Amino acid sequence: MAKELDSSIQYLAGVGPKRAELLRRELGIETLSDLIHLYPFRYIDRSGITPIAQVAPDLAFVQLQATVLTRTLYGPSGSIVSQDDNPIHFGACKRLSVMVEDASGRMEMVFFKGIKWNYQRLVPGATFLFFGKPQAFGTRMNIVHPEVDVPQDGALSQGALTGVYPSTEKLKTGGITGKVMCKLQAAALSLCLPEVVETLPEYILRDRGLVSLPYALKNIHFPKDSYALQKATYRLKFEELFFLQLSLLKQKYVRSRGERGLLMPKVGPDFHACYNALPYSLTGAQQRVIKEIRADLTSGHQMNRLLQGDVGSGKTMVAVLSCLLAIGNGYQTCIMAPTEVLAQQHYANIQKYLKPTAVQCALLTGSTTQKERRAIHAALEDGSLGIIVGTHALLEDNVVFRNLGLAVIDEQHRFGVEQRSKLWSKGPLVGRGPVPENFATLIPPTAEQRVPPIYEAMGGHGFPRQASADQADRVPPHVLVMTATPIPRTLAMTLYGDLDVSVIDEMPPGRKPVQTMCIRQNDRASMYKFMRAEIARGRQVFVVFPLIFESEKMDLQNLEKGYEEIVNAFPLPDYKVAIVHGQQSSEEKNFNMSAFVAGRANILVSTTVIEVGVDVPNASVMVIESAQRFGLSQLHQLRGRVGRGAEKSYCILVRDVKTSKEAEQRLNLMCQTEDGFEIAEQDMKMRGPGDLEGTQQSGLPISLNIASLAKDGQLLTEARIYAGQVLDADPTLSAPQNAPLVRELRKEKYVVKDYSQIS
């Protein structure tokens, strides 16, 4: 048993109950193992001494070796409370100034905390090492709260490289400074390193040229030199990404061999009728994706595919043709959207595509009347309804399909895992009631096939669950997940590493680029003039605000005030302005949105509720107020609401007076490119993967302590390829040499959410 590794942090010298609670609350550290797996995020070189004469305010950090000259204590008003030769009144002291000198000059060290302790320690004539960030104060240089060491015993601080750990104000106030954290890490390592067990087999260490785990842990915290740090970092990053990919790929492996899927070998007349009636040719990317989906449907295994496509790339067309493939084989299909507006829009578009076919389609949302519901439920049960489009209303227990063969989930991150899991129970029932003609040839999977022996051998985490008695008689529908939020390649490989991914990376011909420009608040009069000109040409305008009500913390122009200003600038009867926001009732929201979609309103003032899916081909202008408050992906989604017709379209980003450099970078990038995938990559680099649109709710499958999806894309690819090779050589990981992998995969942190199985 790993006695020390699992012991509570409070028993480590220098911690205690109060600091232990602080570490738990602020950094999630509860055990010594948690502590030694908290890695520095950067390092400071403490190997050199800078002469005082060479200290400048633009230097990041300096280390001085200097002798104390004088100590002065100051009160609240800046008056001297005490100097070396006067009586000391520490209670009245607010600041300690210590003048130090070396052979090249003099400098001030300033302390606002620990005044008494530092005063008593820093006696004139004594020499110390002072380390910190220099700054200019008036005509002289000083360092506020430097780290102080005695030259001969500053062992930890005088190493070539000193780690800087994640911290918070509460930790610093509680006495857990950077220096204290280094001491805690040193104490924890001395106790834990003898217990650390290697997590990777010997052959992987040899193949990849990796150092041992104890060596890596020691040198990630206290590097012997820069080469040792490089080797330690590479080892720990590779291990993290390798186990992440191994845990995802094992799921894919088990499912592909253990989960039987509905066989759909036919194409059918409805597919041909729809395809041949299209007024335009599909793009090469659309054709490629349809071939990939068809290969899945004819494989005999359940399809679990993620379809990524930028706004306007033609995902809906691919979804409809996929549904028609399933219908051609005697199955029903459903398309599930996150909002009623998007479901209605899908339904309207799909109805147009289905005109040349004999396929029946219906819409089921919260607004569907009871009479309509009864008719829809009956048509679903008798199999006459081929495609049902809807919101989460499709998941209700009384929605029963005769033979659901394909479920399309749009913007899947907006549905909870438990909600989506209900689709499992709606697959075709084997041996009860009417089944499709070709279904008799399918052999329902046995319990052994559903959960193969390798389920246990590989740790039992994240695999297909044992089916319930009812579900044991059902075959799950094929699943196609769609998203218009471009996901960086490395993030897709991680969030959806166990799905097959298709990308529509080509826009339909004739679609004109949206001209994007960034303006300031005082350019508003010109913007209104431009909007009037576009409306005079018969076009419509979106105006999007980030907030609904006034916020005291953020000085943003809010929706209500903005709406009043727009109404004043565009008065009746010449102009009609509609407003949509999250505080309205569904009825009110749908009424105003419908007025804009139908062309009865010239301008739609809105919050980001229109971000996903609203299709108004006649809208040619998107105005985004306080654009610096939005993330890149969100700005890109909003811009995608225009440019959907044949007319030239524009996106106007209105920025506030106070805009940070990072926000300006985002806005400049929006003006430079329309490539959603490039924008997503840059967004991840700027904000980190956990904050990206659509990933916030789900989080990463496992937490990464040292690797970065934004920076380590190449290593992630290598780790995935190598994990695949390991599984190819030993699919069950039953070889003795792979015992460390099985042991590691059994750990709780590798319980990966199975996004592919939506359960």
**What is the pLDDT at residue 751?**
58
Closest alpha carbon to 501 in 691, 308, 323, 682: 308
For residue 450, pLDDT over 90 is answered with no
Q: From CA 600, how far away is CA 1, in angstroms rounded? A: 72
Q: Is 607 helix (H, G, I), strand (E, B) or coil?
A: coil
Q: In angstroms, what CA-CA distances link 731 with 249, 331, 332, 400, 718?
A: 10, 34, 35, 38, 19
For residue 18, pLDDT over 70 is answered with yes
Q: From CA 33, how far away is CA 9, in angstroms rounded? A: 9
Its sign, for the CA torsion 208, 209, 214, 217, is negative
Closest alpha carbon to 202 in 736, 720, 724, 730: 736
Cβ atoms of residues 156 and 162 within 8 Å = yes
CA end-to-end distance (rounded Å), the chain: 34
For residue 559, pLDDT over 90 is answered with no
Q: From CA 251, how far away is CA 745, in angstroms rounded? A: 12
User: Where are the chain's structural domains?
Assistant: 48-158, 514-673
Residue 552 binned pLDDT confidence (cut-offs 50, 70, 90)? very low
Q: Return the structure tokens found at 150.
A: 């005695």
Q: From CA 85, how far away is CA 125, in angstroms rounded? A: 15
Query: Interior CA angle at 590 toward 586 and 596, to 5°?
Result: 155
Closest alpha carbon to 242 in 755, 758, 740, 756: 740
Q: From CA 651, how far away is CA 519, in angstroms rounded? A: 11
Better pLDDT: 690 or 481: 481
Supply the pTM of this predicted model: 0.61
**What is the pLDDT at residue 451?**
33
For residue 457, pLDDT over 50 is answered with no
Do the two domains 48-158 and 514-673 of this chain adopt the same fold? no
- Burial of 138 from C-beta contacts in 10 A (0-12 / 13-18 / 19+): exposed
Q: Return the structure tokens found at 657.
A: 């007076």
Interval 52-57 mean pLDDT: 89
Q: Is 259 helix (H, G, I), strand (E, B) or coil?
A: coil
Its sign, for the CA torsion 254, 257, 259, 261, is positive
- Taking the C-alpha atoms of 364, 368, 372 and 377 in order, what is their torsion angle to the nearest 10 degrees? 40
What is the side-by-side strand order in the sheet with 304-309? 361-364, 387-390, 332-336, 404-410, 478-483, 304-309, 500-504
Interval 39-55 mean pLDDT: 86
Q: Is 551 helix (H, G, I), strand (E, B) or coil?
A: coil
Closest alpha carbon to 615 in 598, 592, 603: 598
CA 689 to chain centre: 4
- Which letter does DSSP use for residue 474 in this model? B
**What is the pLDDT at residue 110?**
93
Percentages helix, strand, coil for the chain (3-state, rounded to 5) are: 40, 20, 40
Q: Which residue matches tokens 């904050």? A: 691
Residue 419 binned pLDDT confidence (cut-offs 50, 70, 90)? low
514-673 CATH fold: Rossmann fold (3.40.50)
Q: Return the structure tokens found at 756.
A: 């592919």
Which residues 6+ apart lie within 8 Å of 53 measured at CB?
104, 105
For residue 544, pLDDT over 80 is answered with yes
**What is the pLDDT at residue 641?**
84
Lowest mean pLDDT, pick from 133-142, 171-180, 505-514: 505-514
Q: Is 489 helix (H, G, I), strand (E, B) or coil?
A: helix
Q: From CA 44, how far away is CA 160, in angstroms rounded? A: 8
Q: Which residue matches tokens 């607004």? A: 367
Residue 757 binned pLDDT confidence (cut-offs 50, 70, 90)? very low
Q: From CA 461, how far away is CA 742, in angstroms rounded? A: 11
What is the side-by-side strand order in the sheet with 649-655? 514-520, 649-655, 619-624, 540-544, 603-606, 577-580
Q: What is the pLDDT of residues 576-616, one digit of tens each?
A: 999 988 778 878 888 888 899 889 999 999 887 665 556 78
Which residues 6+ apart lie within 8 Å of 1 measured at CB?
none
Residue 497 binned pLDDT confidence (cut-offs 50, 70, 90)? low
DSSP 20-74: HHHHHHHH---BHHHHHT---SEEEE-S----GGG--TT-S-EEEEEEEEEEEEE
Q: Return the structure tokens found at 108.
A: 């001030």
Q: State in words which class domain 48-158 has.
A: mainly beta
Q: From CA 376, how far away is CA 78, in angstroms rounded? A: 80
Q: From CA 146, how far away is CA 128, in angstroms rounded? A: 11
Residue 555 binned pLDDT confidence (cut-offs 50, 70, 90)? very low
Length of the chain: 759
Q: Is 688 helix (H, G, I), strand (E, B) or coil?
A: coil
Q: From CA 665, how far away is CA 247, in angstroms rounded? A: 36
- Which letter does DSSP use for residue 750 in this model? G
Q: From CA 404, how far away is CA 477, in angstroms rounded? A: 6
